[in-house]
Chains A and B, each alone.
Chain A
Amino acid sequence: NAGVTQTPKFQVLKTGQSMTLQCAQDMNHEYMSWYRQDPGMGLRLIHYSVGAGITDQGEVPNGYNVSRSTTEDFPLRLLSAAPSQTSVYFCASKWYGSSGANVLTFGAGSRLTVL
Chain B
Amino acid sequence: AQTVTQSQPEMSVQEAETVTLSCTYDTSENNYYLFWYKQPPSRQMILVIRQEAYKQQNATENRFSVNFQKAAKSFSLKISDSQLGDTAMYFCAFMKMGGNEKLTFGTGTRLTIIP
Contacts and interface: CB of A to CB of B under 8 A. Distances in A.
Interface in B26-48: 33, 35, 42-45, 47
Interface of chain B, main secondary structure:
loop
Contacts, number: 56
Interface of B: 4, 33, 35, 42-45, 47, 50, 52, 91, 95, 97-98, 100-103, 105-108
Nearest to B52: A100
B98 A43 contact: no
Given A106-B44, A106-B45, A109-B43, A41 B107 contact: yes
Interface of A: 31, 33, 35, 40-45, 48, 50, 56, 58-59, 88, 90, 92, 94, 96, 98, 100, 102-104, 106, 108-109, 111
Nearest to B105: A42
B107 A40 contact: yes
